[in-house]
Amino acid sequence: MQTRALALVLGLTHASMAVAQESLDDIEPGVAPSAESASAGVRPTQEAQPTKHRPEVNGYLAHRESYTAVHPLPVVDTRDVPALTQLVEANVQVRVPLGNQKHFAYADLSMIYQRGGLYYVSDGAGNRTSYPNHDVATLRPAFVPSELYLSLSPKPYFNVLAGKKRITWGSGFAYNPTDLINPPKDPTDPNFQRAGNWLLRLEAPFEHCTLTALAAPQALYNSSGLPYAVLRYPSYAPASGPDTRDEHAHYLLAGRLYLLAADTDINVIYYFSNYYQDDFSRKSRFGLSFARYFWTDYELHAEALITRGSPRSFPNHACAALGASCDTQPGFAPGKLDARRVYPRIIVGTRRQFANEALASLEYYYQGDGYTPTEFSDAVMLMARSQATSAGQSTSDTASTNAASLPQRYSFNTMRRHYLIGSYNQPRIRDDWTLGVVVIAGLEDWSGLVSPSVAWSSAEWLTLSLFGYVPFHASSGNRAKVAGESYGEYSLMPFDFRVMFEARAFY
């Protein structure tokens, strides 16, 4: 169990384990892997061992400290960005067999305490000045049930799963465009985020194929990580925070066909959603993915989501460029919901595992509904205008936070269309050390982020890690200009660098 937890933290397994199709909690001890886990795109590192029918408990304690060199910008509000943060997490993972290993309940639960301080804002003259400590919703203590579900397998070829579960069908490593259900990955540590969503899944696994049907009602109100309003809003408003009620049913339905053909993993996915985590109404979307190993150590994969229209918010050009009043029209609005144009999201990449266990990955991501150069300039202009008109007001939500997922080290919120994501990870340096680096580059304005990391397994049960996050940008490319300053996407990040230390003890 400690080995599995270490793999989640250090990201050493990447595509080698069964994370692309199922978590290890779905693999029955003592039973040979299914077609999905034994296929060319998924290479288990060890055979499952028989265990007695008794509960299995493991987990970890983590302590994280970070410093951020906050750099206030005219276009980005930094009032809720602390220079110093602290996070303490107590995690427990429990697997309880229900009569036998074919039926079980599983829970992955975390109690999180966090706090921050030392805030800065711009003084209007290009310098930073202190801002008072205040309540920030994202820094409140939280209870996070990353997964909490019941799995029943009455027949070898039929499984029923109900509860909160992270299910990822795509083959992408750093990002999964076909994933419409889960909290997004952190591309600087793709295995870190374990949180899923509430759903019901019916699955029929066979030797060379798997059929899946899934229904996911959206959790609309949450308290302490648990939902208390699902699918439809109640008749009453929340006790605190904004009133976002409507008359719609919020849900997602999905069907998937998985095939293992010619040593290739293939997924064909159909989604039908209605106001599920976006403004799409009765929308059909299609997903495709494949993964295959070549020459033993080389893997090639591709994943695509095909959508007509876009749910994202686009800037109002009249408000941004022409200085028109936005009192009657919002500066940002989902203006392409009903567009007939297809906006694909595609990721294509390759990975290679070397003889010394080092793993290199390179992926290209295309976001069809990303901002054009004009839309990006309009967005930056509106951000600057919003920053100027809201000066002196905290942007922190004072409502109770909905703890749906583990706090991310880095959030991959893309604005534009073309990205390159590369990573290199070298484990077992003098047995106990692991070095890694991730580079995310926006190919339109040549800005990006470099994230180096080092981890030391000082004991079998203890890992000490150091992470860095450094934005970079070039003077060329399609950049937005506001008040004489030019901005690329990653130069909008309101810090010069961030350093994070984490100690994690496993049990």
The two tokens of residue 329 are 């029209």
399 in any annotated domain: no
Q: Residue 466 belongs to a domain with what CATH number?
A: 2.40.160.10
Tell me the sheet residues that pair with 452.
437
178 in any annotated domain: yes
31 in any annotated domain: yes
Tell me the sheet residues that pair with 158.
155
The two tokens of residue 506 are 């496993």
Q: Which residues have C-beta within 8 Å of that of residue 2, sequence separation ≥ 6?
A: 58, 460, 461, 506
What angle (nearest 5°) sits at the alpha carbon of residue 345, between those of residues 340 and 349? 155
Q: Which residue range(s) make up the domain with 83?
A: 2-236+246-394+414-506
402 in any annotated domain: no
Contact 242, 16 (CB under 8 A): no
Return the pLDDT at 13. Answer: 36
89 in any annotated domain: yes
Positive or negative torsion for Cα 42, 48, 53, 56: negative
DSSP assignment of 323-334 equals ----SSS-SEE-
408 in any annotated domain: no
Token look-up 């699902």 returns: 230
Return the pLDDT at 323. Answer: 66
What is the chain's length?
507
**How many folded domains does the chain comprise?**
1
Three-state SS across 49-64?
CCCCCCCEEEEEEEEE
Contact 464, 456 (CB under 8 A): yes
- Please, what are the averages of pLDDT over each run of 10 residues along the chain (507 residues)? 39 35 42 41 39 84 96 87 96 93 93 94 82 91 94 94 94 94 90 89 95 96 86 87 88 97 95 96 97 91 97 89 65 91 97 93 96 92 72 37 67 93 95 95 94 95 96 80 83 93 96
38 in any annotated domain: yes
Q: Which residues have C-beta within 8 Å of that of residue 360, sequence separation ≥ 6?
A: 351, 352, 354, 422, 423, 424, 425
Q: How far apart are CA 237 and CA 246, in angstroms?
A: 11
Return the pLDDT at 365. Answer: 97
The pTM for the full model equals 0.85
Return the pLDDT at 392. Answer: 38
52 in any annotated domain: yes
